[in-house]
Chains A and B, each alone.
Chain A
Amino acid sequence: MLKFIASRLLQSIPVLLLIATATFFMVRLAPGGPFSQERQVSPVILEKINEHYGLNDPIIVQYGNYLKNLFKLDLGPSYAYQGRSVKELIAESFPVSLELGCYALLVALALGIPAGIIASLKPNTLYDYLPMSFSMLGICLPTFVLGPLLALTLGIGLGWFHVSGWYTLGDRVLPSLTLGLFYGAYIARLTRAGMLEILSKDFIRTARAKGVPEHKVIFKHSLKGGMLPVVNFLGPAVAGLISGSFVVETIFQIPGLGRHFVNAAFNRDYTMIMGTVLFYAILIVLFNLVVDIIQAAMNPRLRLHD
């Protein structure tokens, strides 16, 4: 198992390097530097700023410095926030996004899995149609529609929650629901499909022929296999939660990394953009590794290969 993890980590290094390189050159290719637009600065000062940030060096030298700094885990200074480093900004805002993401994932799994299981037990009956209708509704209400609607009804209309900020536990409810419901709906569909597939397998018939009671047929014989599509989906789900966090953090004014990234995109804060993209890439690579490990743990056929 350790060998498997090590080899996967090694494999991800070139991928990350590729992302780092791609972002770097894309950003450098962009017309206009970070300090040439919007703000009225005198050419002399602009020259000085460029000098200060090393923007006058040949691009290869800049790239070399960038990589050198990367290996020292130095993502450089933020262009937009004077005197703050990108690393600081990420360290400060990421925990907020992480918390939001965890709640959202929890909402998604806690709603999606039971709904999917219930629907799969009696397909094409009310027990199936009802949860699946809600799931379809959830899929058609993306974050940027659901968020404002929840804010309008539960927040402004009923006054149960604040519609912006990240201070009290109550402030967590609307953003987490907004981000989690969409994925819960999707997970419900995946769970249902996975369970239906497993329940139609020969070995389920074997279990029933042995006189195994139905609840054990479901939980002991089917659940592991039925959950595999959900586990497979966790990788893309986290990538989706990240882009979802851009929207949700913008709607509810949450000081997370997502909002920082969107702001950086507006401000053309290039170091911040590059740093965040790389950080997200590492996050996704690591999470996919975790998913692979969970998969191997759940599926004995995969475990054999290591």
Chain B
Amino acid sequence: MGALIDNTANEALTLESGTSLWKDAWYHFTRNRLALLGGCIFLVVFLFSFAGPWLSPYSYNDQDLSLVSQPPSKAHWMGTDNLGRDLCTRIMYGGRVSIGVGFAATAVSLLIGVLYGTVSGYAGGKTDALMMRIVDILYALPFTIFVILLMVIFGRNIVLLFLAIGAVEWLTMARIVRGQVLSLKKLEFIEAAVALGLSRNRIILRHLIPNVLGPVIVYATLTVPSAMLLEAVLSFLGLGVQPPMSSWGLLIKDGSEMMEVYPWLLIFPAFFFSVTLFALNFLGDGLRDALDPQSAQD
């Protein structure tokens, strides 16, 4: 009824007076203790991996054959492996590779996904339908197997590794970006708000861009652990990173082969890997709650 305040106007008013989405998201995020903890833990692991090697007295390849397969001690905090190398240092270097591949692969998937999704969403119509149908079909394909295939055929090199993983992980990103582009196209919806005297730039800056970026950031955060997982599976099978280079997957593989006698060789790298997954998942969930409230159901 006419007497009841016009809803659009009302919402526009709250939009204007309310805090910006980023501020709101930041507020919710900082109140989510698990997500903050996840962020802190990841930061620690990240520093450990990337800054740690500078502080460590050993290099990842230093062998001390008088100290082979030693349990943790003062000199070697996490013990040494069967070639007398310091495990702690090797975990640091392994972390560089694992985390690096995770981020690089995510960047690749972001690039492909954003390009593909944007084109599909902007083109619309039949092109859009066809492009999304292709994505649907690709979803059903055994992609991990293809990555293995690629690694077998073209040799096990690290650039190919993250390119291949990125090429597997882009599908969901494409879908999300397409959805966001579609919603951007419905820009007319905010014409009403413009008519009410809110500046158009301000609306785009404060409400639309964050809405579009939010889900992309969230999904990218959640892609990092799944890319790390894939890398680790490949390295564990011996089809990923090759010695003497090291990654957590490879260290876990080496550790599991000697776990009966030298359990620490398994436990330490496994611990670092799981804790990192844990941290990234919590961080991602927290970001999702904060930035993408619609999908924050689970």
A and B together in one complex? yes
Residue ranges of A at the interface with B (Cβ–Cβ < 8 Å): 15, 19, 23, 26-27, 29-31, 136, 139-145, 147-149, 151-152, 156, 189-190, 192-193, 196-197, 235-236, 239-240, 242-243, 246-247, 250-251, 261-262, 265-266, 268, 273, 276-277, 280-281, 284-285, 288
Instruction: Say whether B58 faces chain A, with CB atoms less than 8 Å apart.
Output: no
In the complex, the number of residue pairs spanning A and B with C-beta atoms less than 8 Å apart equals 122
Looking across the interface, which residue of chain A has its beta carbon closest to that of B295? A193
Interface pair B266/A247, CB less than 8 Å apart: no
Looking across the interface, which residue of chain B has its beta carbon closest to that of A12? B140
Measured CA separation A221–B149 after assembly (Å): 46
> Can you pick out 8 interface pairs between chain A and chain B where the beta carbons lie within 8 Å of each other?
A142-B273, A144-B256, A193-B297, A196-B297, A235-B139, A235-B140, A284-B141, A288-B140
In whole Å, how far is B220's beta carbon from the nearest beta carbon of chain A? 18
Interface pair B253/A144, CB less than 8 Å apart: yes
Looking across the interface, which residue of chain B has its beta carbon closest to that of A276? B145
Interface pair B233/A142, CB less than 8 Å apart: yes
Contacts of B297 in A (CB 8 A): 193, 196-197
Contacts of B141 in A (CB 8 A): 15, 19, 281, 284
Number of interface residues of B (CB under 8 A): 43
Known: A190-B298, A239-B140, A239-B143. 11 other contacts (CB 8 A): A140-B274, A140-B281, A145-B273, A148-B255, A149-B266, A189-B298, A239-B142, A242-B144, A262-B239, A277-B145, A284-B141
Instruction: Say whether B287 faces chain A, with CB atoms less than 8 Å apart.
Output: no
Looking across the interface, which residue of chain B has its beta carbon closest to that of A143? B233
Looking across the interface, which residue of chain A has its beta carbon closest to that of B270? A145
Interface pair A247/B233, CB less than 8 Å apart: yes
Measured CA separation A19–B142 after assembly (Å): 10
Contacts of A265 in B (CB 8 A): 148-149, 151-152, 237, 239
Given contacts A140-B277, A142-B229, A144-B256, contact A280 B298 (CB under 8 A): no
Interface pair B259/A148, CB less than 8 Å apart: yes
Measured CA separation A216–B274 after assembly (Å): 39
B139, B150, B249: the one contacting A144 at CB < 8 Å is B249
Contacts of B277 in A (CB 8 A): 139-140, 142
Looking across the interface, which residue of chain B has its beta carbon closest to that of A15? B137
**Looking at B145, B148, B277, which has the most chain A CB atoms within 10 Å of its CB?**
B145
Interface pair A239/B144, CB less than 8 Å apart: yes
Measured CA separation A262–B235 after assembly (Å): 12
Looking across the interface, which residue of chain A has its beta carbon closest to that of B249? A144
Interface pair A141/B259, CB less than 8 Å apart: no
**Looking at A141, A190, A243, which has the most chain B CB atoms within 10 Å of its CB?**
A243
Contacts of B260 in A (CB 8 A): 152, 156
Interface pair A26/B153, CB less than 8 Å apart: yes
Interface pair A140/B153, CB less than 8 Å apart: no
Interface pair B298/A250, CB less than 8 Å apart: no
Given contacts A136-B281, A239-B144, contact A148 B252 (CB under 8 A): yes
Interface pair A285/B140, CB less than 8 Å apart: yes
Measured CA separation A26–B150 after assembly (Å): 8
Interface pair A29/B142, CB less than 8 Å apart: no
Instruction: Say whether B278 faces chain A, with CB atoms less than 8 Å apart.
Output: yes
Looking across the interface, which residue of chain A has its beta carbon closest to that of B239? A265
Looking across the interface, which residue of chain B has its beta carbon closest to that of A196? B297
Instruction: Say whether B236 faces chain A, with CB atoms less than 8 Å apart.
Output: yes
In whole Å, how far is B244's beta carbon from the nearest beta carbon of chain A? 19
Instruction: Say whether B57 faces chain A, with CB atoms less than 8 Å apart.
Output: no
Interface pair B145/A243, CB less than 8 Å apart: yes
In the complex, which residues 127-173 of chain B have their Cβ closer than 8 Å to any Cβ of chain A?
137, 139-146, 148-155
